[in-house]
Amino acid sequence: MFDLALKPKAVPVNLLSAEADHQISPAFNENVLTKFRSGPTGDVCRSDVLIIQYGDSLYDQIMAKQDKGVEVKK
């Protein structure tokens, strides 16, 4: 069993980046990204591509749920 175990290997962060041409929604940019405070944490949240893409997808899911609630109510 010991011989079959794989040793963990480090993966460079730049290989983890997804599509660089991903377009974020203007609503996400206006409602979320512009609301971060200036500082190291806010700068990372506004500049990191993976964080922005993940946040944009979560924002789209939340907005879709709100729209669905209105449709169901009608």
Based on its alpha-carbon atoms, the radius of gyration of the chain, rounded to whole angstroms, reads 18
Does residue 1 belong to any structural domain of this protein? no
The reported pLDDT for the residue numbered 66 is 74
Does residue 57 belong to any structural domain of this protein? yes
Asked if 24 contacts 60 with a C-beta cutoff of 8 angstroms, the reply is no
Residue pointed to by tokens 């175990």: 5
The reported pLDDT for the residue numbered 70 is 63
Question: What are the residue ranges in the chain where pLDDT is below 50?
Answer: none
Does residue 25 belong to any structural domain of this protein? yes
Per the structure, the count of domains in the chain is 1
Q: What is the pTM of this model?
A: 0.60
Burial string for 18-50 (b: 16+ CB within 10 Å, else e) reads eeeeeebeeebeeebbeeeeeeeeeeebbeeee
Domain housing 63: 9-73
